[in-house]
Every structure is written in C-alpha cells, then in structure tokens.
C-alpha cells in the first residue's frame, strides 16, 4: 500500500476491520497528534472518515505505511524526503544516494573526532623537551636556494643538493650541521623561499645549483623535536611561547637542523631535529 491514498467521505466498509485513530496510534506506538500530523503532511490518509462526526479509521494494512515512515525517519530521512520517496519511480536509486550521503557524513564526523582526540592528546601530553639558549658559531655553508610549492619538496631538494656538492668536491665539516634556513618572515603554505644549507670545510667554486654563504654567530632559542616533521607546529608553539614569555625578539631566519632522519633511520619516530630561532633580549 502506498503511503498516501486520498480518502473518500463514504459509508463504513464492512469487508475490512477498521480501527479508530486512538487505537491505531497505540498499536503503532505513536501519538494521535503524530498520526494527524502525518495526514497533514500527506504521508498517510485514513481509510475511512465518518461523514457525520469526522471520526477517522485505519486498517491493518496501513500499519506497514507507519512502519515504513518510522524506519526511514530512524535512517535520517526528513518527512519531505519520505514524501519524495513515495513519489519517485526509482526507489533503489533514492535509497542508494541517501546511503552515500550518510557514509560521507560518517567519514566527516570520524575526521572531526580524530581532530578532537589529537587536541586532547596535545593538551594532556605536554612537550617535555626544554628550550635552550645557546650560541651557534659562525659557519660556512654550501647553499641551495629555491622557492618551493610545498614543504614536501625538501625531500627531493636535499638529495639533489648532496649530489651536486659531491660533484664539485665539497667536504662536509665535522660535526655535521645540515639545516634549512627560512629567510622570509612568517609561515607560508606555498611559494616558500628556502635555503638548504650544509656546513663545509672550505669554499669551492659554485655552480648553477650551489653557492656558498657564511652565517654569522648568533644566539638562538633552540628546542629538539623527535618524530615526524608533520608535528613541527606543536614544537614551534612551545618555542615561540618561550621566546615571548622571556622577553626575547626574533632577529634572524629560523633554522631547522636535521640530526637524524630518513637517510639513517627506518622509523619516523626516531627522526631527530632541532629548531633554532635567533633572538636578542628585548630592550
């Protein structure tokens, strides 16, 4: 039986058992008010209406209509959608689309839950790596300077630089000091100017890829970072908060020094870096 079939004001039929609206509502575990509302919305009509007193009657077959409405509501359909489902020819397509929409909502809600869990993890597990103020001595470096579209390009930029350094005969200084310097202020999500730097023992003749640059001695606020580079923002937050709370001013390009990484560690959890931010005491 379709959800809505227009009733007629006619004499009571004796070939099927009729139930008063109160009894029919109770049988379906809904209120009379709800049943009347469904009628107003065009979802179900009484099988018989007494033309003398206006009493409404329903048949046993109409219970299937109520069950269908209830099930669809529990599945997240609005009453307007349920009306549309009753009119549509391709019910399977209608239901398949609704299922796809619900799965997309579940995926989005799952993503939001993951963000909340991550936030709780960050607030409950504070970074215990201390911030250190130290002198970073002047250093001569081989430099590859490039404007990149994303930070992922650093992974291809570094091997390219290493190959070019080997070609022109650069000798790395000991202890090794490899870092990325960010000459421009402020965080950029794209169009990022970077200088990939490696400490060397002497200046060689440069090339189209490599040039040499001496960085002066600086005092820097420094913090170690263990793990994936994706978690750098949390470590940066700790370091920048320290700088602000202790009255320092940033006075140079931020350096990310790579101590252990993909070149010598199998797991991201073992990667070790140091973020170094040159600072001076505020006047």
Please report the pLDDT score of residue 11 as a whole number.
44
Average pLDDT, the chain: 84
pLDDT band at residue 73 under the 50/70/90 scheme? confident
- Do the Cβ atoms of 171 and 141 come closer than 8 Å? no
At 135, is the secondary structure helix, strand, or coil?
A: strand
Could you give the CA distance from residue 199 to residue 176 in angstroms, rounded to a whole number? 7
- Do the Cβ atoms of 220 and 136 come closer than 8 Å? yes
Task: Tell me the pLDDT tens digit for each residue of 172-227.
Answer: 998 899 999 998 877 677 888 999 999 999 999 889 999 999 999 999 999 999 98
Q: Which residues face 279 on adjacent strands?
A: 250
pLDDT band at residue 15 under the 50/70/90 scheme? very low
Task: Name residue, tokens 């609005």.
Answer: 78
Taking every pair of Cα atoms in the chain, the longest distance, rounded to a whole number of angstroms, is 108
Say what the pTM is: 0.54
Could you give the CA distance from residue 81 to residue 73 in angstroms, rounded to a whole number? 9
- Do the Cβ atoms of 132 and 224 come closer than 8 Å? no
Task: Tell me the pLDDT tens digit for each residue of 106-152.
Answer: 888 887 877 676 555 555 444 567 898 999 999 999 999 999 998 88
Q: What DSSP element (H or E) covers 159? A: helix 154-167
Could you give the CA distance from residue 35 to residue 45 in angstroms, rounded to a whole number? 9
Q: By percentage, how much of the chain surpasses pLDDT 70?
A: 87
Window from 28-32, 148-152, 162-166, 206-210 with minimum mean pLDDT: 148-152
Please report the pLDDT score of residue 8 as a whole number.
44
Task: Tell me the pLDDT tens digit for each residue of 251-277.
Answer: 988 999 999 988 888 898 899 999 999
Residues sharing a CB contact under 8 Å with residue 139, sequence separation 6 or more, in sequence order? 173, 177, 199, 214, 215
Structure tokens at 146: 């490039």
Could you tell me the sign of the dihedral formed by the alpha carbons of 235, 238, 241, 246, in that order? negative
pLDDT band at residue 16 under the 50/70/90 scheme? low
Taking phi over 0 as left and psi of -120 to 50 as alpha, with beta for the rest, 208 belongs to alpha
Q: Which residues face 18 on adjacent strands?
A: 59
Please report the pLDDT score of residue 76 as a whole number.
84
Please report the pLDDT score of residue 99 as a whole number.
85
Structure tokens at 131: 């911030």
At 173, is the secondary structure helix, strand, or coil?
A: coil
- Do the Cβ atoms of 146 and 211 come closer than 8 Å? no
Please report the pLDDT score of residue 88 as a whole number.
56
Please report the pLDDT score of residue 34 as a whole number.
92
Window from 2-16, 24-38, 86-100, 143-157 with minimum mean pLDDT: 2-16
Q: Which residues face 136 on adjacent strands?
A: 218
Please report the pLDDT score of residue 13 as a whole number.
46
Please report the pLDDT score of residue 283 as a whole number.
65
Q: What is the mean pLDDT of residues 50-57?
A: 90
Please report the pLDDT score of residue 280 as a whole number.
92
């Amino acid at each position: 039986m379709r959800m809505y079939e227009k009733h007629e004001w006619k004499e009571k039929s004796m070939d099927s058992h009729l139930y008063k609206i109160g009894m029919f509502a109770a049988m379906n575990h809904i209120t009379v008010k709800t049943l009347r509302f469904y009628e107003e919305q065009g979802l179900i009509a009484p099988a018989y209406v007494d033309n003398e007193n206006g009493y409404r009657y329903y048949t046993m077959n109409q219970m299937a209509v109520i069950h269908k409405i209830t099930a669809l509501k529990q599945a997240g359909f609005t009453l307007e959608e349920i009306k549309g489902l009753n009119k549509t020819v391709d019910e399977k397509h209608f239901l398949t689309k609704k299922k796809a929409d619900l799965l997309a909502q579940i995926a989005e809600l799952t993503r939001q839950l993951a963000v909340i869990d991550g936030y709780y993890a960050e607030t409950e597990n504070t970074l215990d790596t201390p911030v250190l103020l130290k002198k970073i001595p002047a250093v001569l470096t081989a430099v590859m300077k490039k404007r990149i579209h994303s930070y992922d390009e650093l992974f291809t930029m570094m091997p390219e630089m290493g190959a070019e350094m080997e070609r022109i005969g650069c000798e790395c200084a000991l202890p090794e000091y490899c870092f990325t310097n960010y000459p421009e202020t402020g965080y950029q999500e794209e169009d990022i100017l970077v200088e990939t730097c490696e400490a060397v023992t002497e200046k060689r003749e440069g090339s189209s890829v490599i040039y040499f640059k001496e960085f002066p001695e600086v005092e820097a606020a420094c913090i170690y970072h263990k793990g994936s580079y994706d978690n750098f923002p949390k470590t940066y937050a700790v370091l920048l908060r320290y700088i602000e709370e202790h009255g320092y001013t940033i006075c140079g390009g931020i350096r990310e020094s790579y101590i252990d990484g993909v070149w010598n560690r199998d797991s991201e959890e073992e990667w070790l870096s140091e973020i170094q931010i040159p600072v001076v005491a505020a006047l």
